[in-house]
Structures are given as C-alpha cells and as structure tokens.
Amino acid sequence: MKLLKSLAIGLLVSVSTAASAQVAIIVNPANANALSDNDISRAFLGKLKTYADGQTIEAVNSKANSDARVEFEKLVLKKSPSQVKAYWSKRLFTGKGKPLKELSSDAEVLNHVASTPNAIGYVDASAVNDTIKVIKTL
C-alpha cells in the first residue's frame, strides 16, 4: 500500500511539472543589452528603468492568469499572481509606479516586442518566432 501511495505521489508530481509552461523572455532583435536574472526581475517590478545603453525599458506583461504569466511571476518575480497584484496596487497608491502594459495574447506580445526596440516581454516558449530575440528560457 505504501508503495502504491508513493507511486501515485510521484506520478502527480511529474504530471504537474509537465503541465507548467516553458517561458521565453524576449527582446527586440536590435537590443544588444545584457540583462541578469536580477535585472529582468527588477524591470518587471518597475525598479529598473533603463538598459545599460540608456534606452528606457518598456516591459510588457502577458494576459493576467495566463500560463506563461503565472509561471513567469513564480520563477522570475518569486511571487504569486495575488502578490504581484498587491505589489502594483501599493506602488500605484504610493505614486511610485503604475502596472505594466498588459497584452492579451502571445501574438500581441511578440508583435509589440518585434516592433519596439526597447521592449521586453515573455511568451510561452512554443510561440517564439524569428521576429524577436530570446534572452532566457525558463
């Protein structure tokens, strides 16, 4: 019985891991700036405002509660969706910033990043095409 229970738990863990989306963090192909993991996190929290070359960072979010966004917030920002919402509510209330632009689909994020030299975003890794540059895959 213990063996069966252990196998069932192992199967559940492997299924939940397989269900999480792989996320690609993307920039415009013309963007030659290097970003550390900490820089990426700070950019999406509104704390890092410019790239090393002085260009203003325009970070964009995917649709709220999309698989890519939930995974991105968990792995990069180390926050749950409700914690991110609370974080931005506090920044807005205190006048320290406003939430990032939210685009409704991976296709919109790809198009925006491809057409905006200083943009950074993230999409499901399966949506990546040659119009953008992937700087990190999670």
Mean pLDDT estimate for the chain: 89
Domain boundaries, the chain: 21-137
Contact between 127 and 106 under an 8 Å Cβ cutoff? The reply is yes
Res. 90: pLDDT tops 60? yes
90 phi and psi, to 5 degrees? -65, -45
What does the alpha-carbon distance between residue 33 and residue 54 come to, in Å, rounded to a whole number?
10
Q: How many CB atoms lie within 10 A of CB 58?
A: 18
Mean pLDDT is lowest, of 1-5, 87-91, 131-135, for 1-5
Element holding 120 (H helix, E strand): strand 119-124
21-137: CATH number: 3.40.190.10
**Average pLDDT rounded to a whole number, residues 85-114:** 96
**Which of 15-24, 26-35, 36-45 is the least confident region?**
15-24
> What tokens does 112 get?
């925006």
Name the amino acid, one letter, at 110.
Answer: L
pLDDT category at 97 given cuts 50, 70, 90 is: very high
